[in-house]
């Protein structure tokens, strides 16, 4: 009887962290998308200076563990602005994801036939206009499978904002286990909730992939 009481308490307590996890993941993915697309554009269509900057960002950020990046950015951000752990953690995670996303979009930009850029320039479009209205819509669809993979990775990496005190699934599991004194139960529930989240995300992404697939 006491076990079921604990199970219900644990489940309800951790469930509130699910929304925080989803929030962190969504913000980080959006921030990473902005960084990723911008850096990929700089890498493929930029001048040599921009290309170098984008390459350095991608290589360095991908060589450092995400949790280290979260620590560094958390303290750097805290020095300049007063952001809540949620926003600081999500931004840091997004900055890290941006490097991985820039590689995905770089590949996608390269996969769009170069003749399209030439044609767009020939009819008088500027480089930026051409990227925005010709290249990007196709590249986005080409990038979808790899991007979906990155989305599930960010979902899992969102547990790392635990270290800066964001009350996401893992943090709440830890808190409730301190109260019920049943850590196995708490972390099992956290794990199962996560499993549901990742399986759900994979399903949704697969649907998107089928819907927007592009044959080239």
Partner 1 sequence: MESFLQLLHNAVPSLLQGTGVTLQIAAISLLLGMALGLPVGVGRVYGPRWLQHLLAAYITLFQGTPLLIQLFLVYYGLPDLGLTLDRMPAAFLTLGLNSGAYQAEYLRGALQSVGEGQMTAARAIGMGKWLAVRTIILPQALRLVLPAWSNEAIAMLKYTAVVFLIAVPDLMGQAKILSSRYFAPIPIYMIVAVFYIVLVGATYLILRQLERRFHIPGLTGEAH
Site residues for partner 1, 43-72, by CB under 8 A, read: 60, 63-69, 71-72
139 versus 189: smaller Cβ distance to partner 1: 189
Tokens in use for 30? 């959006």
Q: Does 187 bind partner 1 (CB under 8 A)?
A: yes
Q: Between the CA of residue 17 and those of 95, 158, 171, what are the distances in Å?
A: 22, 12, 8
> Closest distance between partner 1 and the C-beta of residue 92, in Å?
11
> Closest distance between partner 1 and the C-beta of residue 163, in Å?
7
Q: Does 188 bind partner 1 (CB under 8 A)?
A: yes
Instruction: Select the span of 47-55, 107-115, 187-195, 204-212 touching partner 1 (CB under 8 A).
Output: 187-195
Q: Does 204 bind partner 1 (CB under 8 A)?
A: no
For 148-162, b where at least 16 C-beta lie within 10 A, e where not — what string? bebbbebbebbbbbb
Biggest CA–CA distance in the chain, Å, is 75
Site residues for partner 1, 105-124, by CB under 8 A, read: none
> Closest distance between partner 1 and the C-beta of residue 135, in Å?
26
Binding mask 72-91 for partner 1 (x = CB under 8 A): x--xx--x------------
Burial class (CB in 10 A: 0-12, 13-18, 19+), 12: exposed
Q: Between the CA of residue 132 and those of 39, 42, 45, 51, 140, what are the distances in Å?
A: 14, 13, 12, 19, 11
Of 13, 19, 173, 37, the closest CA to residue 86 belongs to 19
Q: Does 128 bind partner 1 (CB under 8 A)?
A: no
Residues that bind partner 1 (CB under 8 A): 60, 63-69, 71-72, 75-76, 79, 156-160, 162-163, 169-170, 173-174, 177, 182-188, 190-191, 194-195, 198-199
């Amino acid at each position: 009887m006491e076990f079921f009481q604990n199970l219900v308490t644990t489940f309800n307590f951790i469930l509130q962290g699910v929304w925080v996890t989803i929030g962190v993941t969504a913000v980080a993915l959006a921030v990473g998308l902005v960084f990723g697309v911008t850096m990929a554009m700089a890498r493929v269509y930029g001048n040599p200076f921009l290309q170098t900057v984008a390459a350095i960002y991608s290589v360095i950020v991908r060589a450092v563990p995400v949790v280290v990046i979260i620590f560094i950015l958390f303290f750097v951000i805290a020095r300049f602005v007063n952001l809540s752990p949620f926003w600081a953690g999500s931004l840091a995670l997004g900055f890290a994801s941006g490097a991985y996303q820039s590689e995905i979009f770089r590949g996608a930009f390269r996969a769009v036939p170069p003749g399209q850029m030439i044609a767009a320039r020939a009819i008088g479009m500027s480089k930026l206009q051409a990227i925005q209205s010709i290249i990007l819509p196709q590249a986005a669809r080409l990038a979808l499978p790899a991007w979906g993979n990155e989305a599930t990775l960010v979902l899992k990496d969102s547990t790392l904002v635990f270290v800066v005190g964001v009350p996401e699934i893992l943090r709440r599991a830890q808190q409730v286990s301190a109260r019920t004194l049943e850590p196995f139960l708490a972390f099992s529930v956290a794990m199962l909730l996560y499993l549901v989240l990742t399986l759900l995300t994979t399903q949704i992404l697969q649907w998107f992939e089928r819907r927007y697939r592009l044959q080239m």
